[in-house]
């Protein structure tokens, strides 16, 4: 998948700032800018928060049509395939993006896990309809991040990181009130965070639960239980989703043959890969590459 920096350059052809480190960015957006995200096909290794400030936006999220309206806060987490379908001419929003690989070690990662995973499982869709005063509050927080990103403050990166942490806590507060759910025990969170740290580095070579459980010094049964508790999904679901996203990325962005993609992802042969891809995607690799 694209890193945040790679995806931005693919969409806009240039860096947003000369001194940008690619870790985080926040920007006011409109329909034209938002449609540019389709150029990366949703293959972005980043967490994204979009607050709709005006108009409406429709997107296809993992095959499901989702409509966002003013004061809706939408969450994108790596592994979700998203396509922007339509938007009103007056659509406006604020988009905060945090690169997955550079933010996964941040102290705020536990808050990110709460936010990214809970809506899909417990709210049934990755968005929250915010009360208008709350939406205004979060918009102000995001605009403050924008101001610091474009400032010459000596400690800009540190300030932005702290503002991001406060933003995550504000969102988690809203989410917690909407869900009315008891916090996940710390040990469970630590295990799940450990798993999502391991997964991007090993999903191609290791597709068995035992590998990840052993790396975390726990049993396969316990790891399965933890992942299911936090997200409602299985370990195999996560591994397969990563494989599917990487396969889709390679088919759309490289000239590799289907056999080469199968070999790159360590499938036994091209037919095995095609069967896997067709089962999860609903079309063959050849049909997907042709855009059908």
> What confidence tens digit (pLDDT) does each residue in 30-69 have?
999 999 888 776 678 888 899 999 999 999 876 778 999 9
Longest Cα separation, the chain = 55
How far is it, in rounded angstroms, from Cα 66 to Cα 124? 11
Do residues 54 and 109 make contact, with C-beta atoms less than 8 angstroms apart? no
The pLDDT value given to residue 106 = 63
Nearest to 199 by CA among 3, 45, 48, 21: 45
- Are residues 95 and 233 located together in one domain of the fold? no
Looking at the fold, whether 210 and 174 belong to one and the same domain comes out as: no
Q: What is the CATH number of the domain that holds 161?
A: 2.60.120.280
Assign 8 a pLDDT band (cuts: 50, 70, 90): confident
Q: Which of the residue ranges 3-12, 37-46, 93-102, 163-172 would you say has the lowest mean pLDDT?
A: 37-46
Stronger pLDDT, 86 or 110, i.e. the higher one: 86
Question: Could you tell me the residue range of the domain that residue 250 belongs to?
Answer: 186-289
Query: What's the pLDDT at 104?
Result: 63
- In the chain, the percentage of residues whose pLDDT exceeds 70 is 86
Phi then psi dihedrals of residue 76, to 5 deg: -115, 130
Sorting pLDDT into bands at 50, 70 and 90, what band is 110? low
Q: Which of 42, 147, 151, 131 is nearest to 94 (CA)?
A: 147
CATH value at residue 214? 1.10.10.60
* Contact status, residue 141 vs residue 166, Cβ threshold 8 Å: yes
Task: Please write the tens of the pLDDT for every residue from 180-224.
Answer: 555 566 778 778 878 888 888 899 999 999 999 999 999 999 999
Where a domain ends, among 179, 195, 214? Answer: 179
| Dist CA 44 CA 24 (whole Å) | 13
Looking at the structure, tell me whether residues 40 and 135 fall in a common domain: yes
The predicted pLDDT at position 6 comes to 85
Overall domain count for the chain: 2
Q: Are residues 72 and 205 in the same domain?
A: no
- The residue length of the chain stands at 292
């Amino acid at each position: 998948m694209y890193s945040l920096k790679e995806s931005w350059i693919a969409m806009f052809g240039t860096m947003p700032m000369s001194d940008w480190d690619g870790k985080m960015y926040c920007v006011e957006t409109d329909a034209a800018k938002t449609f540019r995200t389709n150029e990366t096909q949703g293959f972005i290794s980043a967490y994204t928060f979009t607050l709709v400030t005006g108009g409406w936006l429709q997107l296809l999220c993992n095959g499901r049509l989702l409509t966002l309206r003013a004061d809706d806060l939408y969450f994108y987490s790596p592994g979700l395939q998203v396509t922007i379908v339509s938007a009103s001419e007056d659509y406006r929003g604020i988009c905060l993006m945090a690169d997955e690989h550079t933010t996964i070690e941040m102290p705020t990662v536990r808050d990110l896990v709460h936010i990214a995973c809970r809506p899909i499982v417990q709210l049934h869709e990755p968005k929250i309809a915010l009360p208008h005063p709350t939406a205004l509050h979060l918009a102000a927080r995001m605009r403050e991040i924008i101001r610091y990103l474009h400032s010459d403050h000596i400690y800009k990166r540190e300030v932005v990181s702290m503002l991001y942490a406060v933003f995550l806590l504000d969102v988690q507060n809203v989410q917690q009130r909407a869900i009315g759910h008891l916090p996940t025990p710390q040990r469970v969170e630590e295990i799940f965070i450990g798993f999502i740290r391991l997964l991007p580095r090993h999903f191609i070579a290791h597709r068995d639960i035992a590998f990840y459980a052993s790396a975390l010094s726990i049993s396969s049964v316990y790891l399965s239980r933890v992942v299911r508790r936090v997200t409602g999904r299985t370990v195999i679901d996560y591994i397969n989703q990563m494989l599917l996203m990487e396969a889709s990325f390679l088919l759309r962005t490289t000239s590799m043959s289907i056999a080469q993609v199968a070999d790159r992802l360590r499938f036994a042969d091209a037919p095995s890969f095609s069967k896997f891809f067709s089962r999860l995607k609903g079309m063959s690799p050849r049909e997907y590459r042709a855009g059908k």
